[in-house]
Amino acid sequence: MLNPVIIALLIVASLDTLMLLIAAGFALRILRHWDIQSGSELQIRLEQQTYLIATLVGFAFITELLSLLLFVYNADALSSQFVGAMCATGVLNVNPWGWPTLISKIIVFFFAALWLALNFIDRQAEDYPLVRIKYGLLLLIAPLMLSVWSFQLKYFLGLNPAVITSCCGSLFSADARGIAAEVSSLTPRTGMLLFYVGGIAVMISGLWYLRKQRTALIFGMCSIGAFITAIIGIVSFVALYIYAHPHHHCPFCILKSGHDFKGYWLYLPLFSATALAISSSAVAVTQRIPSLRTQAKKTARKFGWLALLLYGIFYLLSSWMVLTSNLTLENLWL
């Protein structure tokens, strides 16, 4: 608990949760009393307060986005302090709250990116047409953020250096149980197929959407599918080539300096591209609102092209890591 990074993560999570709970209370008032056509004192006060609340929420979400990266980095850095831990996997396995914390932080990451995009586009119009939508979404995110704070607090309070934890080899193994084991048990060829099919689907759907200005929701759904298949592909076959080992499937060891921090090269563009694609599809839907039509179209296209660029970087880097590896799997291309 005296680790500076742990203290920073707990402080950030506590402040972010407090700000979101305050914002959630304000969101209830917005949903009940907001009327842009009204000139009442209450409406004027609500309009003034939205700037402050949106700033607080925006700050909370931006710091939460950064805390996900810091959480993973810290888990990897702590691996030397626990017997049996070789990387972040072992540290997350120290108690039952490690994986729920990571998964909930990833979910909040994507919701936060979506809210920031909607808030940005809403402020471009004088009538704030998305106020009810974005504050309704905030009521959904607030309990998720509270869960992140609770999971993370229990996780850090439960860290016991005397515990002998399990390493990534036991979790990401075909002989183990659970989702990680099932993904690891996939043949490299199956993993490669899923990996590139997901990539092709998101690239084609994105290009079609940006060219025709239709099927934005399909692009968003394909981005979620591509994210899932990308993680499956990293575990089932990309990691093997990075490690040059046919049985090492861990998605966290690739973050280490011994592998040139290649994990960051892959995860940063993948997470950013997925967040931008989801945001682009959501913003594109708002083009139906007259006051947002021009700005929403421009912003959605900008997010979409940037998402495709980052997806391209991710898939090119992944392919480069496979092609330049010293590992050769003879049955992969059969």
Q: What's the rounded mean pLDDT across residues 56-61? A: 89
Q: Are 149 and 93 in the same domain?
A: yes
The closest of 192, 35, 58 to 123, measured between CA atoms, is: 58
Considering the domain architecture, whether residues 290 and 185 belong to the same structural domain is answered as yes
For the question of whether the overall pTM of this predicted structure is more than 0.75, the answer is yes
Q: How confident is the model at residue 258 (pLDDT cuts 50, 70, 90)?
A: confident
Residues 241, 149 within the same domain: no
- Whether 334 shows a pLDDT value over 60: the answer reads no
- Give the mean model confidence (pLDDT) for residues 60-71: 90
169 pLDDT band, cuts 50/70/90, is low
Q: What is the pLDDT of residue 54?
A: 87
Tell which wins on pLDDT, 161 or 300.
300
Alpha helix (H) residue ranges in the chain: 4-33, 41-77, 88-92, 98-122, 131-157, 168-171, 179-184, 188-212, 216-233, 239-243, 262-285, 293-323
> Based on the domain organization, do 252 and 310 belong to the same domain?
yes
pLDDT of residue 331: 60
- pLDDT of residue 213 exceeding 80, the answer is no
Identify the burial level of 334 via C-beta atoms within 10 angstroms of its C-beta, where 0-12 means exposed, 13-18 middle and 19 or more buried. Answer: exposed
Q: Select from 148, 166, 184 the last residue of a domain.
A: 166
Amino acid at 219: F
Domain count, the chain: 2
Range of the domain at 254: 170-334
Tell me: do 177 and 317 sit in the same domain: yes
Of the residues 166, 182, 205, the one at which a domain ends: 166
Number of other residues whose CB lies within 10 A of the CB of residue 196: 16
Is 294 in the same domain as 186?
A: yes
Domain shared by 60 and 133, yes or no: yes
Predicted pLDDT of residue 176 = 60
Average confidence (pLDDT) over 38-45: 82
Domain final residue, candidates 137, 166, 195: 166
To the nearest whole number, what is the mean pLDDT of the chain? 88
Mean of the pLDDT values across residues 258-285?
Answer: 93
Residue 227 pLDDT level (bands cut at 50, 70, 90): very high
pLDDT-derived band at 141, boundaries 50, 70, 90 = very high
